[in-house]
Amino acid sequence: MFDWISWNVVLAVIAAFVKAFVVVNALLVAFAYMTLTERKVMGRMQVRYGPNRVGPFGLLQPIADGIKLAFKEDVTPSQANIWVHTIAPIMALVPALIIFAVIPIGPSLLIADQPWTWYIANINVSYLYVTAVASLGVYGLVLAGWASNNKYSLLGGLRASAQMISYELAQAAAALTVVILAGSINLYEIVEQQNRSLIPYALYLPVGLVAFAVYLIAGVAETNRAPFDLPEAEGELGAGFHTEYSGFKWSMFFMAEYVNMVNVSAIAIVLFLGGWWPAVPYLGETVAGIVGPIFFLLKLALFMFFFIWLRSTLPRLRFDRLMGLGWKVLFPVALVNLMVTAVIVALWPTGVWPFI
Amino acid sequence: MVMLSETRTESGTMILNMGPQHPSTHGVLRLLLELEGEVVVNCVPDIGFLHTGIEKTMEARNYHQAIVLTDRTDYLSPISNNLSYVLACEKLFNIEHDVPRRAQVIRVILCELSRIASHLIWLGTHALDLGATTVFMYCWREREQILSIFEFISGVRMMTSYMRIGGLAADVPEGFEERVAGFVRSLPPRINDYEALLTRNPIFLDRTRDIGYLSREDALKFGLAGPCLRASGVQFDVRVQFPYCGYEEYDFDVPYSNEGDVYARYMVRVREMRESVKIIRQGLEKLKGLKGEEYRIDNPKIAFPKREQIHRSMESLIHHFKLVSEGPVPQPGEAYGILESPRGEQGTYVFSDGSNKPHRVRFRPPGFYNLQALPQLVIGRMVADVVACIGSIDIVLGEIDR
């Protein structure tokens, strides 16, 4: 009766469910401990200790914070649009969580003749999926700003929409450079290409490096992190779009911000830093299949440190300057870079790289 | 004044109520901003949320008791307020030339320390408003050292009330010189650290250059004072023009700039901190030659007699009783004490009707005059610049609202 069901498909579906469960929980735990790491690292940079009261070295602080936020009163302003006000944080968080489905964190390998993959889904247009889902996240911010019926929130929401849409263009143009170099829009294939050619795309001079720089700056702006934290700019707008949020709804915005940091870093690693490079070319297939994710996570940790470092060092940009930087500097640079790459790839299609 | 409930004007602009609860209005300043998008069309500062009636309360206290009230006006540099009131009283009692030299030198050292402390807070909060969080923590660390010096000499970190009519409340304790010398040795490298984070930081330059410009004429017209005035190219410093406490004996520069923008005010204040270090060093040199000398005028009608004299002589005991119960009584008349506080020309006007209480006390708070220029600085600018401008004029609502 069900002979059209192959057991391999059933296994794959179950594996995908398990992996999705693990990834979502891992992201949320990563978020919790990112907050602790950020407070600790910033504390050290600012000649203070950071949280160290709850548990050994303050390790239980995120759990205490989580419990506090979950039990906090959830206030909705009287004039707010209650439905939009409730849906907005969900719309911010869900896209952030589902982006990770297509990110490969290690090379595929065979375990007991069964294929094992370090991603949840491998769709052939996975980068397109990433951009599509990432741009959904901005709705959460805009709607939060609008639904709160607060002028500061409104200004924050407007800033968020303008900023994220502008910087997505530069980001996508930078990523397209890599897509042209790799000849594929599949993230797993892009990483494979880098490992095959033994160097990550960030070291393809000059186009790869320029694209990497543009992607990184635009990525920081995408995640609304300092120095581009204008939508929440606490010195100017109170707390920007989430001024009127409290309790768990507020913490969903918070989660979305940190999970987005993880996403942007993970995609930067996949596109420019060769994913699990240098595990594959130098350690052999099987070993790389197991230690590859460790290389990936180490790079991720470096990116997170970079984000924290930026935040504790730099002042905030002004809004018009931010838009100027996005439209007048980053976007043109990324476009020219893209065209140069296209010309180079057209002239030397065999992959003989002239600049290295 | 625009009503709060009004969210939109007829021309379609938005009224934004900034403050009194707002992280960047430095206390309880309320600004009514009329916004066209994010551009400020009009700005109306609304003050008075921190009105404490200090001037009026002083009329019900005798001349000694009123000293503690002066601490609470400009709570970031209480020593300057103390001193400006005490200078006015000394003129009223006609003893301004009899104050012992040791007291004068210590006054100068403490004033400059409180100038550094106030500028550190200004720098930290200004940077924090612009999003640079680390400078804030660094500045707080150094300010803490100054506050512990204040605690060391007076027992109180902020509201020291250390000045007295005719001198100081007590002599500085043993080891004061070493602590201050150690602090001024450590400060210049720290200022270099702050400057490394800000002075040539492109984002900081972007946020402060050509923002909040005030011309020399406008600065004079608004009656601006202190670093804000000097940043607009007017070389006016009370310490130089109307020296008090022997400032004429010290060798220091008055930093000024002709740019008149937020960045110029930043540079002027940072350079002022370095000049204050210079003054403190010279003060410590002078203090070496004044070991063991008097720290308070020897006039039992005005200043408290020493504790050991009270135990030994009947007159001293009576004087002490009279000073505590009635307080010093000046001749009828009026006096104006003026000094350069961290925020500018800080004046205290005292009117005496010949009783033991001042008939009227009025402060000239520099922040009040500096705040008047704010609308001119921010109109036509963006909301983010409002924050930069408020930070750059360095207001303390305690002294503005009194």
Let me know: does B227 contact B254? Beta carbons within 8 Å: no
pLDDT at A108: 80
Quote the minimal CA–CA distance from B393 to chain A in Å. 16
Instruction: Please report, for chain B, the start and end positions of each structural domain, with discontinuous segments joined by +.
Output: 54-401
Which residue of A48, A238, A318 is in closest CB contact with B206? A318
**CB nearest to A235's CB, from B16, B141, B387:** B387
| SS3 per-residue string spanning chain A | CCCCCCHHHHHHHHHHHHHHHHHHHHHHHHHHHHHHHHHHHHHHHCCCCCCCCCCHHHCCHHHHHHHHHHHCCCCCCCCCCHHHHHHHHHHHHHHHHHHHHHCCCCCCEEECCEEECCCCCCCCCHHHHHHHHHHHHHHHHHHHHHHCCCHHHHHHHHHHHHHHHHHHHHHHHHHHHHHHHHCCCCHHHHHHHHHHCCCCHHHCCCHHHHHHHHHHHHHHHHCCCCCCCCCCCHHHHCCHHHCCCCHHHHHHHHHHHHHHHHHHHHHHHHHHCCCCCCHHHHHCHHHHHHHHHHHHHHHHHHHHHHHHHHHHHCCCCCHHHHHHHHHHHHHHHHHHHHHHHHHHHHHCCCCCCCCC
Cβ–Cβ below 8 Å for A151 and B7: yes
**Which residues in B lie closer than 8 A to residue A314 (C-beta atoms)?**
131-132, 201, 203
At residue B86, the pLDDT reads 92
How many CB atoms lie under 10 A from the CB of residue A198? 13
pLDDT at A356: 45
Q: Tell me whether B275 touches chain A (CB under 8 Å).
A: no
A226 at the B interface (CB within 8 A)?
Answer: yes
Q: Taking the CB of residue A285, how many other CB atoms lie within 10 A of it?
A: 12
Residue of chain A whose Cα is closest to the Cα of B15: A151
- Read off the pLDDT of each residue in A191-195 and give the average, rounded to a whole number: 83
Of B23, B138, B203, the CB nearest to A238: B23
Hey, are the CB atoms on B23 and A235 less than 8 Å from each other? yes
At residue A348, does pLDDT exceed 70? yes
CATH label, B54-401, candidates 3.40.50.300, 3.60.15.10, 1.10.3720.10, 1.10.645.10:
1.10.645.10
Contact B384 A233 (CB under 8 A): yes
Q: Please tell me if residue B99 touches chain A, with a CB cutoff of 8 Å.
A: no
CB nearest A46 (choices: B133, B204, B383): B133
Quote the minimal CA–CA distance from A158 to chain B in Å. Answer: 10
A312 touches chain B (CB under 8 A): yes
ipTM for the complex shown = 0.81
Q: What is the mean pLDDT of residues B191-218?
A: 88
- Asked if the model's pLDDT at residue B42 lies above 70, the reply is yes
Comparing alpha-carbon positions, the chain B residue that sits nearest to A150 is B16
Among A226, A238, A315, select the one facing B204 at the smallest CB separation.
Answer: A315
The C-alpha of B37 sits at a distance from chain A's nearest C-alpha, in angstroms, of 8
Residues 6 or more apart in contact with residue B391 via CB below 8 angstroms? B24, B26, B122, B125, B126, B129, B130, B262
Minimal CA separation from B140 to chain A, in Å? 10
Instruction: Check residue B268 and give its pLDDT.
Output: 92
The residue among A236, A312, A322 with the most chain B CBs within 10 A of its CB, best to mutate, is: A236
Selected for mutation to probe chain A from B125, B383, B385, B389 (highest A CB count within 10 Å) is B383
User: Please, what is the average pLDDT of chain A?
Assistant: 84
Residues of chain A with pLDDT > 90, as a percent, come to: 11
What does the pLDDT read at residue B394? 86
The tokens for B75 are 């709570």
The per-residue pLDDT for B170 is: 86
Least confident among A143-152, B314-323, B335-344: A143-152
Interface test with A, best of B13, B130, B194 (most A CBs within 10 A): B130
Q: Distance of CA B63 to CAs A162, A183, B290, B294, Å?
A: 60, 85, 28, 22
Task: State the average pLDDT over residues B75-79.
Answer: 88
B197: which chain A residues are within 8 Å (Cβ-Cβ)?
313
B310 touches chain A (CB under 8 A): no
pLDDT over 90 percentage in chain B: 22
- The yes-or-no verdict on residue A354 having pLDDT over 50 is no
Higher-pLDDT residue of A5, B16: B16
Chain segment A17-47, per-residue pLDDT in tens = 888 898 888 888 888 888 899 899 988 888 8
Q: Which of A72-81, A253-262, A298-307, B229-238 has the lowest mean pLDDT?
A: A72-81
Query: What pLDDT score does B5 carry?
Result: 47
Is B38 close to A155, i.e. CB distance below 8 A? yes
Is residue B2 over pLDDT 70?
Answer: no
* Out of B137, B201, B384, closest to residue A46 by CB: B137
B206: which chain A residues are within 8 Å (Cβ-Cβ)?
317-318, 321
* Segment 4-33 of chain B within 8 Å of chain A by CB: 7, 14, 16-17, 22-24
Contacts of B387 in chain A (CB under 8 A): 235-236
B144 contact A CB<8A: no
pLDDT digits (tens, 9 = 90+) for A256-283: 888 988 999 999 999 888 888 776 667 7
pLDDT at A135: 86
Shortest CA distance from B20: residue in chain A: A238
pTM of the model: 0.87
Does A237 lie at the interface with B, CB-CB under 8 angstroms? yes
Q: Is A321 on the interface with B (CB under 8 A)?
A: yes
Given an 8 Å threshold on Cβ–Cβ distance, is B384 in contact with A319?
A: yes
Residue B14's closest chain A neighbor by CA?
A151
| Mean pLDDT within B384-395 | 87
Q: Is B158 on the interface with A (CB under 8 A)?
A: no
- Taking contacts as CB-CB distances below 8 angstroms, the residues of chain B near A311 are 133
The residue among A79, A155, A316, A319 with the most chain B CBs within 10 A of its CB, best to mutate, is A316
Once rounded to an integer, what is the mean pLDDT over residues B115-144? 90
| pLDDT above 70 as % of chain B | 98
Size of interface A-B (CB pairs under 8 A): 80
B138 touches chain A (CB under 8 A): yes
Task: Kindly tell me if the per-residue pLDDT of A4 is higher than 80.
Answer: no
Closest by CA to A177, choosing from A192, A163, A190, A164, is A190
